Amino acid sequence: MDRPRHISLLRCLLALCLLLGFSQPFARAERLATDRGVPVLTIDGAIGPATADYVSGGIASAAEAGAPMIVIRMDTPGGLDTSMREIIRAIVNAPMPVVTYVSPSGARAASAGAFILTASHVAAMAPGTNVGAATPVQLGAPGVTPATNPKKEEGDKAAADETAGPKTGSASEAKALNDAIAYIRSLAEMRGRNADWAEAAVRDAASLSAQAALAQKVIDIVARDNNDLLVQLNGRSVKMGGGEVRLDTSNLALNDVEPNWRTRLLVAITS
Question: What is the distance between the alpha carbons of residues 182 and 22, in angstroms, rounded to a whole number?
Answer: 33
Buried b (16+ CB within 10 A) or exposed e, 5-25: eeeeeeeeeeeebeeebeeeb
Give the rounded distance of the alpha carbon of 94 from its chain centre.
15
Does residue 111 have an active-site annotation?
A: yes
User: Which one from 56, 61, 111, 120 is the annotated catalytic residue?
Assistant: 111
Bridge partner residues of 253 (DSSP): 37
Rg (alpha carbons) of the chain, rounded to whole number: 22
- 199: helix, coil or strand? helix
| 8 A C-beta contact, residue 49 and residue 267 | no
Would strands 243-246 and 130-132 be described as parallel, antiparallel, or unpaired?
unpaired
User: Which one from 105, 157, 172, 175 is the annotated catalytic residue?
Assistant: 175
Does residue 8 have an active-site annotation?
A: no
DSSP state, 68?
Answer: S
Question: What is the distance between the alpha carbons of residues 253 and 32, in angstroms, rounded to a whole number?
Answer: 9
Q: Which sequence positions are flagged as catalytic?
A: 111, 175
